[in-house]
Amino acid sequence: MNCVHTIRCSRAGFSLMEVITTVAVMGIVAAIGISAFGNISDRSRDTVAANLVDTLNKATRNFSHANWDLRFNAVATSAGDEMMVLRSLQWREPDGAANQKEIFYKGPYMRADWNPATSSDTDDWRIQWTGSSWSLLKPGAAGAGLKVNFDATDLGTPYVFPNNFTPVGSR
């Protein structure tokens, strides 16, 4: 530092009070930002899950319009009914099938490579079959259903149907 005895030297920097004030303001801004980000994350999950429910309900309506009323008993404590209805929406009647007149549009009505797990864990977002349509169970709600997976690890290889598979519903 080059200082002359008659000239007062000033040092560049922050005082302790300025540093404390800056840290406090940054803490307040971070707290507001983190809580806002948490709300955005929950809303985006809600939107993704709601879109999936809408897609399933549209596929169910299309199946019902083209074939028969897709009604299947709902069991709130088990996700077996959800899986049977989903597989009915994913199934495509093979070309040349003996009962080909029965199904007018061969499907699939839902993408065949979606293989969701089932869950009754109240921490999960789940899609539940009500007997004639699909509804969303958010975390905290009781009931079983198809687990909504937000990282797309439930997409991949198409489900392989057994030769004797029959779609559910009243005919």
Query: Can you give the residue ranges of every domain in the chain?
Result: 16-147
Q: Does the predicted TM-score (pTM) go above 0.85?
A: no
Q: Would you say 68 and 86 are in contact if contact means Cβ atoms under 8 Å apart?
A: no
The tens place of each residue's pLDDT in the chain, 171 residues long, gives 555 555 566 667 778 888 899 899 998 888 877 776 666 777 889 999 999 999 999 999 999 888 888 888 898 888 999 999 999 999 887 765 555 555 556 678 999 999 999 999 999 999 999 999 999 999 999 999 999 999 999 999 999 999 888 888 756
Structure tokens belonging to residue 57: 């309900």
Q: Given this model, what pLDDT does residue 4 score?
A: 56
How far is CA 101 from each of CA 49, 50, 93, rounded to the nearest angstrom? 35, 34, 10
Q: Given this model, what pLDDT does residue 139 score?
A: 95
Q: Given this model, what pLDDT does residue 99 score?
A: 53
Cβ count near 81 (within 10 Å): 20
Q: Given this model, what pLDDT does residue 102 score?
A: 53
Smallest Cα–Cα separation from 125: which of 108, 103, 150? Answer: 150
Q: Given this model, what pLDDT does residue 73 score?
A: 86
Q: Given this model, what pLDDT does residue 27 score?
A: 87
